[in-house]
Structure 1
Amino acid sequence: MSLYEHFRKDEHSFVDQVIDWKQTAEVEYRAKLTDFLDPRQQQIIKQIVGNSEEVKVDFQGGHDATERKRALFYPDYLVPEKEDFQISLFEIEYPGKFVTLEHRHVLGALMSLGLKREKFGDIITDNSRFQLIVAEEVADYIKVNFQSAGKAKIKLKPLEEEDLLVQVKSLEEKFITVSSMRLDTVIAEAFNLSRAKVKPLVTGEKVKVDWKVVDDPSYPLAKGDVLSVRGAGRCEILEMDGQTKKGKHRLIIGFPS
């Protein structure tokens, strides 16, 4: 059985990349550090590396609760330290009494700096404080060039790991029934949208599955998929709870609460 059969076609290029990283650690006997990876990419790495005796992999993203993390592939004789993950942490200082700052303002301003999204980890907030996790190799560039977000003038203050905010994730469950596992069908039921409204959202590249843009309304979904719809929110397919007598799929969907 081919390794690729375990993954979707659009994931095959990333699978090739993971194999290359693994071989670097195994053949060259040195550690290989990646950029920040989303949870699906981390899952793929764990599946490929598995219980390999020659190569190990660890993940760091600031603290255990962060979503985006860097992966470190290393030969089994090495003992990695936190410093090996080369992560810089910042608190965003801004005049909160006079302007409102939102997550989208921070992310939009960061992306306008011309750096890849993979150079940034999580943007952590409690809706008043904002903290930023970045790759150490771009930290100095960001400190110099990241001067505003939304309507706020900002400054970056170095942060220690113990001062990072920890966002506790909880999901509100919703039960839905769908005629198929097509992307447009599940989104329509999960977000109470008409199929007519969903199709242009998908084809207009405003929908992501497992953190990747998907523009095919018929894209097949599975348990564990995370869906995000611009302007509507995010949900996760927690369980596929069998079928009804008429052959429809019963799903348990989780929404951030």
Structure 2
Amino acid sequence: MGEQREKLLRYYRGTEGAEEAEHLVDLAEQAEKSQKFRLTDFLDPFGQEIAETIAANYPSLVIDFDGGYQGAERCRAMFRDRDFGGSPAYDIAVVRATWNGTFVRLGHRDVLGSLMGLGIERGKIGDILATGDSARILCDKKMAEYLIANLKEIGSAAVEVAEDDLAAIAPKEERAKEIRATVASLRVDSIAAAGFGFSRSRAAADIKAEKLKLNWQSVKSASQTVKQGDVLSMRGRGRLEVEEIRGLTKKGRTSVVLKRYL
């Protein structure tokens, strides 16, 4: 077991996922030792990828994910012994914060900022589904009561908070458009510029500001190369998948098919 642990931690050492990997390995080993299950906090897609990699290295375990509704981006993972016969719950609740949308416009960033201002750990909060006058906040079940009692305002707006029904959340329908482009190279700045529709210099500036992520890790250099299946993401601009790399054109450029999720 020690060897397996060291191999996994060595793999993630020096990356943004190092601390998360250590915590997830602990949970996986607890599930294996108890022959039952262990539930994680809410994980972003990169965290989910780490959890899947870890589970694949423990043959006695299976892993499942749930974010409270179909299509959730942030999900809890459950490491479970293959022979465990129970049906453990993911302990996810949703609360709804409402405000007067006539006088103030609030979004995801405002809601998240207010939650962090209450000292809540990010891992206890799942997706935040904001509209013009309300936001559904997916959270750890134990956190729901605390939010109802303590979340009094978002930004400068007074809010009312009550528990809501998970079943009332519609499955997420992702809109996507296909982009066929030719790029000078498979550098991440070239692909981002082609997919998000801005210049390479703008892409380079966003990379420098750590706004662009490749496979849910911050891009460190504009010269990083991408491969088929990679995912680029940028808050406010959505997600971009490198669906196909088709090869060189007669002019020596690379033909790619990208899928942009809006």
Task: Give the superposition deviation at 1:11.
Answer: 6.3
Contact 1:58 1:73 in 2 (8 A): yes
Amino acid at match of 2:48: Q
- Residue among 210, 235, 245 paired with 1:241: 245
Listed as ranges, the matches of 1:89-168 within 5 Å are 89-125=94-130, 127=132, 129-168=134-173
Deviations 1:94-146 (A, max 9, x none): 22333323222222322333333222111124555421101234333333332
Cα pair distance change 1:53/1:190, threshold 3 Å: closer
RMSD, matched Cα: 3.0
Percent of residue pairs bearing the same amino acid type = 30
- Residue among 62, 65, 88 paired with 2:71: 65
- Residue among 224, 227, 232 paired with 1:219: 224
Instruction: Count residues in correspondence.
Output: 254
Amino acid at match of 2:183: V
The normalised TM-score by structure 1 is 0.83
The normalised TM-score by structure 2 is 0.81
- Residue among 175, 190, 212 paired with 2:180: 175
Secondary structure of residue in 1 paired with 2:15: helix
Q: Return 92-101 or 46-55, whichever deviates more.
A: 46-55
Cα pair distance change 1:41/1:220, threshold 3 Å: farther
Distance in 1 between residues matched to 2:190 and 2:134, nearest whole Å: 37
Task: For structure 2, list consecutive stretches of 5 or more residues without a partner in the other structure.
Answer: 1-6
- Residue among 20, 24, 27 paired with 1:21: 27
Distance in 1 between residues matched to 2:221 and 2:13, nearest whole Å: 14
Contact 1:124 1:167 in 2 (8 A): no
Cα pair distance change 1:52/1:74, threshold 3 Å: same
Deviations 1:10-58 (A, max 9, x none): 3662555444332221123342111111223323433442496521222
Distance in 2 between residues matched to 1:162 and 1:128, nearest whole Å: 20
Distance in 2 between residues matched to 1:96 and 1:180, nearest whole Å: 46
Amino acid at match of 2:248: T
Amino acid at match of 1:31: F
Secondary structure of residue in 2 paired with 1:34: strand
Distance in 2 between residues matched to 1:208 and 1:129, nearest whole Å: 29
Secondary structure of residue in 2 paired with 1:25: helix
Cα pair distance change 1:194/1:65, threshold 3 Å: closer
- Residue among 201, 209, 233 paired with 2:214: 209
Contact 1:4 1:12 in 2 (8 A): no
Distance in 2 between residues matched to 1:3 and 1:180, nearest whole Å: 32
Amino acid at match of 1:114: G
Deviations 1:139-159 (A, max 9, x none): 333333322223422122111
- What residue number does 1:33 align with? 39
Secondary structure of residue in 1 paired with 2:177: strand
Contact 1:37 1:71 in 2 (8 A): yes
Distance in 2 between residues matched to 1:24 and 1:48, nearest whole Å: 13
Contact 2:246 2:257 in 1 (8 A): no
Distance in 1 between residues matched to 2:70 and 2:53, nearest whole Å: 19
Task: For structure 1, list consecutive stretches of 5 or more residues without a partner in the other structure.
Answer: none
- Residue among 55, 60, 71 paired with 2:61: 55
Contact 1:204 1:215 in 2 (8 A): no
- What residue number does 1:46 align with? 52
